[in-house]
């Protein structure tokens, strides 16, 4: 897939990975929060900085019926946090305009889990809302 590799202005695409346990926890949390939305932050391994290993729940995050509201002023200063995850109560995993706005401001890798929250019903996105492949490891 060399064709898709870009390296310019010091930017190099990252081959994102997520631990199976972590994506399973996301899907289970999304399922149990349904029909409300589930939202959390994504943390990478301290050494393997391309591998998402953990969810960080924000204190005071509102699981609303509308879009998950991240209280990002509560966001800890933690450089192992690389992005966000939230669920959609519909089967549409595409980011909304508000989602892309959130993505742009808070991190570089984002996940949306759509109903029915199976291993095939989630997608990864970069901070511009472009879809990104995240490998389950």
Contacting positions for Zn ion (CB under 5 A):
99
Q: How far apart are CA 11 and CA 20, in angstroms?
A: 27
Number of H helices, E strands in the chain: 2, 10
Least separation in angstroms between residue 122's CB and Zn ion is 12
Q: How far apart are CA 37 and CA 30, in angstroms?
A: 7
Least separation in angstroms between residue 9's CB and Zn ion is 29
Least separation in angstroms between residue 59's CB and Zn ion is 21
If the CB atoms of residues 13 and 32 are measured against Zn ion, the closer one turns out to be 32
If the CB atoms of residues 51 and 68 are measured against Zn ion, the closer one turns out to be 68
């Amino acid at each position: 897939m060399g064709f898709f590799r870009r390296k310019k202005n010091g930017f190099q695409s990252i081959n994102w990975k997520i631990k199976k346990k972590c994506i399973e926890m996301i899907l289970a949390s999304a399922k149990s929060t349904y029909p409300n939305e589930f939202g959390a932050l994504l943390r990478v391994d301290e050494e393997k900085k391309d591998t998402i290993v953990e969810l960080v729940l924000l204190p005071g995050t509102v699981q609303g019926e509308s879009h998950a509201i991240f209280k990002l002023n509560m966001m800890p200063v933690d450089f192992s946090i690389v992005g966000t995850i939230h669920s959609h109560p519909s089967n549409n995993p595409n980011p909304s305009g508000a989602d892309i706005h959130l993505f742009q401001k808070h991190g570089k890798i984002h996940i949306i889990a759509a109903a029915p929250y199976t291993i095939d019903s989630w997608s990864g996105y970069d901070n511009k809302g472009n879809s990104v492949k995240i490998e389950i490891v």
